[in-house]
Chain A
Amino acid sequence: QSVLTQPPSASGTPGQRVTISCSGSSSNIGSNIVNWYQEVPGTAPKLLMYRNNQRPSGVPDRFSGSKSGTSASLAISGLQSEDEADYYCATWDDSLNGWVFGGGTKLTVL
């Protein structure tokens, strides 16, 4: 049972916009920044978004992040087949005094 709650799956067709949610509490998302990671099967996770809505160099602007209260979301517009991967949110939890990850969302491009 993950501290952060994500939907186990999401899907969309090429060109569509998809949103993945991440729900937490006041001790984690409510008081800290949220990062997102993309994990293509068989490869290491990759930092996709940091500090809620900042894209590392090389990440397409099709990816965007937001945070409101104790929830965060990752949006992918102009969906492409290469976006098919597992997506994880993560943040610091002040109660646990450590990083916590969401359970992950498997994105399928139909």
Chain B
Amino acid sequence: QLQLQESGPGLVKPSETLSLTCTVSGGSISSSSYYWGWIRQPPGKGLEWIGSMYYSGSTYYNPSLKSRVTISLDMSKNQVSLKLSSVTAADTAVYFCASGNWFDYWGQGTLVTVSS
């Protein structure tokens, strides 16, 4: 059973870069069985897809965030990373790492607050 755990700073200053890591256990991120995604949920609001990365290396990003987002895989650490640059208060949200063809597996999520 795949397990995902997000980690990273809970507080980021405006204009800085948000960096999160998703540590995967129970499977290899290099496996063709999975693809990886990040989804966020602002407080009291719905889910928003940020982007996805396939085992082949192909990436897809939400058009509204594309200019600021980078998703990458660290095979040596079995981790998936998310970087979101030039953050504002609107980027305050719980950030989830998810995997599987249909986002079958989810991490517990991590709250990131953007504030000075």
Contacts and interface: CB of A to CB of B under 8 A. Distances in A.
A98 B69 CA distance: 14
A101 interface: yes
Contacts of B100: 47
Given A37-B47, A45-B47, A50-B102, A98 B107 contact: no
Main secondary structure of the interface of A (DSSP, over half): strand
Main secondary structure of the interface of B (DSSP, over half): loop
B96 interface: yes
Most B CB atoms within 10 A — which of A45, A90, A102, A103?
A45
A35 B63 contact: no
A16 to B, nearest CB: 25
Interface of A: 2, 35, 37, 39, 43-47, 50-51, 56, 88, 90, 96-104
